[in-house]
Amino acid sequence: MTNNINDRLQTIGNNANSNWLLDDGLRRLNFWMFMCLISSYGAGYDGSLFTGLLTLKPWFAAMFDFSKGPPQPTFIGVIGLSGVVGIIAGPFVGQWISDRYGRHRAMIVASFVAIIGGILTIITLPEPTHQRNLFICARVVISLGGGISMVAAPVLMTELSHPRQRPVVAALYQCGFYLGSVVAAWITFGTNSWASSWSWRVPCLIQIAPFVVQLAVLWWCPHSPRFLVAQGRIDEAKQVLAKYHANGDMDDELVAFELNSIVAAVASDKDNHSSFKELVATKGNRWRTYIIVVLAVVTQWGGNGVVSYYLPEVLSSVGVTATRTQAAFNGGLAVFNLIVSTSAALMSEKLGRRPLFITSAVGMFCSFIVITALSATFAKTGEPGSGRGVIAFLFVFFFFYDIALTPLAVSYPAEILTYRIRSKGMAVSISTVAVALVFNIFVNPIALAAIAWKFYLVYVAVLLFFLINVLFLFPETKGKTVEEIQVLFDGANSPDLPELSYRGSDSNSLTDVKA
């Protein structure tokens, strides 16, 4: 008997086409998956936007009074930090709304908050100090909305998606980050030659577009079936599963299996009120929490943070000083990251999580050592070849980063957490990312200005730490449902889940319907 969920689904009746494009229910379902993906897109746009703004002279002119001297790295760090502050608190607001009112309703609140922040960013004031303070406040508001959405969106994707599509759909979530990065990078590249304030106001205005789309359509998004079961609304949960997973067939075998699994998993831990203490209450939960914290830290302290937010400074340190060239490089790197991460996400279920994590950790560790060595050589000799080597190995480093830490940094925590602690665990994960980002944004420019390439040694140590953890503590989740993954961590304490009903290895009961 196979352990792979996709193979097992071939042996159970399901009124859904194997090609989602030919299936009305799956088309509708994947529309809502795309709406969730927009949340990641918004986060990526914001991150790349800040990098792009650092290449725009009109933005600097609006934010700083150059008659008093050049901008201090500390001030730039504060502006960057403002885009993270809300992400520290926002996830806990998002967790509360998600668990009490539903995942998609938290996303509605997040979109509304982010739109307000986006509008504030394009207001212009004559005094640079006032302009800078307003811009900082606006970014705090946007980040608050982003923090709320970052919890609700991946949880909804994990809980609502068809089990046949869940591994890939969930892995694609974080790839939306790079899609946003690509758009922001090339928009700021396009406005780089503009001399007016619109060179930075247009990219800031475009930032609110995805949130406007979400706010307009999410009112009709279905609840997560797991949320409905937890609320005691089992009939509604069955209707959602039937509508989107079986084209409305209430007697569908897969729908029955999913519903029974969800009811068993939710009922097993529904007796007591859930709290954040439960993240460390059992051995299995402590294991889960440790993994999500390690992943959250490494996604920002694995070397990418020093590049992602301060790419212009990194390029300047190896001789690339033209702002338009820096903007073009930022855009090219964003496209490269999008292609690699999306390809890895599509292969994540076939290749498995552990092979991707291990390959990523080894590759990042080795390539960042080379980047550190080449940066040191360039700093001492000024040799152009060393500078070009740094640029080349930045792509090598991000290739290995993208194959695991982009597609799995959110989807892996979301799938290993049980329903009871899923939104709380994701809140801790996102907030930990934000805290790590605070370090990157505030400390990195100061450290880069003070000790340049020597600062990279810190990240080499972090990558070694990550590799050791992956080898010994990250279990394989390939081929399992969300509820079945619980057994890996909780063992005998796991709920009794229903088994798929097999009809024999030669039968294929996946019903292809054209709807």
- Over 253-311, what HEC string results? HHHHHHHHHHHHHHHCCCCCCCCHHHHHCCHHHHHHHHHHHHHHHHHHHCCHHHHHCCH
Q: What value, to the nearest 5°, has the Cα angle with vertex 451 and ends 448 and 453?
A: 70
Count of alpha carbons within 13 angstroms of residue 375, beta-carbon side: 22
Other CB atoms within 10 A of residue 472 CB: 7
CA 208: distance to chain centroid?
18
478: helix, coil or strand?
A: coil
Q: What's the token pair of residue 120?
A: 């504030």
Task: Give pTM, 2 decimals.
Answer: 0.81
Those residues whose C-beta lies under 8 Å from the C-beta of residue 175, and which sit 6 or more positions away, are: 40, 338, 341, 342, 345, 406, 407
Contact at 8 Å (CB) between 459 and 302?
A: yes
Q: What is the pLDDT of residue 512?
A: 40
Other CB atoms within 10 A of residue 20 CB: 16
CA dist., res. 29 & res. 23, Å (int):
10
Contact at 8 Å (CB) between 426 and 97?
A: no
CA-CA distances (angstroms) from residue 221 to 170, 341, 480? 17, 27, 26
Contact at 8 Å (CB) between 134 and 125?
A: yes
Contact at 8 Å (CB) between 9 and 245?
A: no
Q: Where are the domains of the chain?
A: 18-221+268-493, 225-267
Count of alpha carbons within 13 angstroms of residue 417, beta-carbon side: 30
Q: How far apart are the first and last CA of the chain?
A: 32
Low-confidence ranges of the chain (pLDDT < 70): 1-11, 69, 72-73, 268-274, 305-321, 323, 379, 441-442, 444-445, 448-449, 451-453, 492-515
What is the phi-psi region of residue 504: left when phi exceeds 0, alpha when psi lies from -120 to 50, beta otherwise? Answer: left
**CATH dotted code for 18-221+268-493:** 1.20.1250.20
Q: What is the pLDDT of residue 274?
A: 67
H or E stretch covering 186? helix 175-190
Those residues whose C-beta lies under 8 Å from the C-beta of residue 104, and which sit 6 or more positions away, are: 152, 156, 218, 221, 222, 223
Residue among 99, 89, 233, 240 at smallest CA distance from 160: 240
Give, as one character, the DSSP assignment of residue 510.
E
Instruction: Sort 199 into a burial class: Cβ within 10 Å, 0-12 / 13-18 / 19+.
Output: buried
Q: What is the pLDDT of residue 339?
A: 92
E-state strands within 4-123: 14-15
Give, as one character, the DSSP assignment of residue 231.
T
Q: What value, to the nearest 5°, has the Cα angle with vertex 268 and ends 263 and 273?
A: 105
H or E stretch covering 511? strand 510-511
Contact at 8 Å (CB) between 515 and 21?
A: no
